[in-house]
Chains A and B, each alone.
Chain A
């Protein structure tokens, strides 16, 4: 390693200059991260803007993670081993490793990692310096050449096609979406049949007219004006712009608008293509489904209340001399009624979140105590499982305590469900920069890479597991909603037959 890359560790430990130092790092054009080696799994506590740029992730998605998230599913690289060996020995190392941006784009990362030691020689931090050297890679370059060549060819061909007016109009007519083409003064040049049919107008009433004059001014919509005159000139294209409008003849419509400014060299300039998707019915259907979920689960709760009540009365009034078999039956029934109740509550929550009705309470509470309480209640239910807790935040957090308890309980009960009875479960809490991080680790069956990317989806359940634990996978979905509503991130890391770690971070405002 060249001298210029050697990091003077002493400076970092001098308290006076941290602010200045971070400013310098912030200005660097190479990616820089700092990890805290004294915290579990060596999480990132600092990253500079260049690192955000290289990786395509934003800071709140980076802090608290181990750097390996950049490897995505590409976990069989020998470089990985080189790094972990060097880190284990406390040495620095340089590797060129395949990494992936948030959008999934491959880049070759020339990575230099160096340990930071304190006076006693203990490694407290690691510093990582990243350079995207993709373009330097020869094979990559060749590939790019080929790619460029193909792109050029495709472009040439599409230009030929584009010039064929027929081709264009056939697209415009085939598409099942309303399309308008206008010149820069919003005069309509063409409208497709779908537009004419949906908005019940004829081509004569449309062609050559100004957009805002169409159909007695029914398109003179303030939001649309704003889109065309204020947003589109500086943001091209504008996608999925939602507009609600009450049309005189066809009634209330909810529309998604996509607008493109288009240009064909030498032919025309600043034309506008406006695509209008009518999502009125789709939205209504969504709403009806959510209403149904909400009403159904609410209605089901009423008889369930009676059942739960009688169940508990049965337990209270159980004769002393009742047989163990009978007691067992009553107990089992109680347990399954409780599970039914849990599922119903989750269903109710899902429909609430979907309709945006979930209210996050913002109250200050003792975060460490909340975690301890959540663990305690799970311990009470499964006393035989070993659940350990390490780390603490040591300060209050402002957020929705009862929802966060729900998240931790959910992660814990998953960990319990998906791992053998005699294996331990670890909960780790740490504060990282201005974030809280919580991790729940089990030594269970693990989750495959493919499944990992879906587990936070609504109603998703890990395939194999489904057979053993039937039910609806809305728990993790809810967790994700709750965490993202707090401005945090939640993610899972796992290795088949080794175990899984579920992590979340929360910003401490």
Chain B
């Protein structure tokens, strides 16, 4: 169960570091990607078990990444948990096919539960 690999893509360094600490503390292997432009390449290279994806990022937004990911058969089946601070984040996540969604700021317990659920499936 543990040592699963989670990739986090977010343009905010603070959130990346915080999530890294949390996820490692919980026994996951963590890969951080601060640049949304590189996200798809990094995902292909690392082939993580799960992706945490912010929606509002400069250059390429999370929903664009997710759509491209679903079209790429090599990585299309990786579960994706999206998050954002905006109230319509949930609708965006649903419309582009995210497996789960959580709004910022996170409740860490809920976040970890969702992660575990997605990894079990």
Contact = CB atoms under 8 A, between A and B. Distances in A.
B111 to A, nearest CB: 9
A349 interface: yes
Closest 9 CB pairs of A and B: A301-B85, A308-B105, A306-B14, A305-B105, A309-B18, A312-B108, A305-B104, A306-B18, A302-B12
A348 B15 CA distance: 20
Interface in B43-72: 56
Contact of A309 (B15, B87, B88): B15
Given A313-B18, A313-B21, A305 B85 contact: yes
A308 B110 CA distance: 13
Interface in A297-328: 298, 301-310, 312-313, 316-317
A309 B85 contact: no
B21 A312 contact: no
A305 B15 contact: yes
Q: How large is the interface on B (under 10, 10 to 19, 20 to 34, 35 or more residues)?
A: 20 to 34
B85 to A, nearest CB: 4
A348 B12 contact: no
A312 B91 CA distance: 27
A349 B104 CA distance: 15
Nearest to B83: A305
A302 B15 contact: yes
A309 B14 CA distance: 10
Q: How large is the interface on A (under 10, 10 to 19, 20 to 34, 35 or more residues)?
A: 20 to 34
Contacts of A164: none
Interface of B: 12, 14-15, 17-19, 21-22, 25, 56, 85-88, 91, 104-109
A348 B22 contact: no
Contacts of A298: 56, 85-86
A341 interface: yes
A303 B17 CA distance: 12
Interface in A448-503: none
A209 interface: no
Contacts of B109: 312
Interface string A248-290: 0000000000000000000000000000000000000000000
Nearest to A299: B85
A189 B14 CA distance: 67
A312 B12 contact: no
A8 interface: no
